[in-house]
Amino acid sequence: MTRCDFLVLLVTVWPSYASSRPLAKLLLSARFLISHKAEKASTA
């Protein structure tokens, strides 16, 4: 996953993050996993 893909995903997810509290933790953990994978991919 490239940084561009991550930005697109972030922009897509952000409105629902802002509007729905129950999903906040799920989206935060998803974002963390994605950024962690991106870091691993860039170092490898």
Domain boundaries, the chain: 3-43
Q: What is the pLDDT of residue 1?
A: 60
* CA max distance for the chain: 36
Residues in the chain: 44
Q: What is the pLDDT of residue 26?
A: 78
Measure the CA–CA gap between 35 and 40, rounded to whole angstroms.
9
pLDDT tens per residue across span 12-35:
777 766 666 666 777 788 888 888
DSSP for the chain, written as a single string: --HHHHHHHHHHHHHHHHH-STTHHHHHHHHHHHHHHHHHHHH-
Q: What is the pLDDT of residue 18?
A: 63
Q: What is the pLDDT of residue 8?
A: 81
Distance of CA 39 to the CA centre of its chain: 13
pTM, to two decimals? 0.39
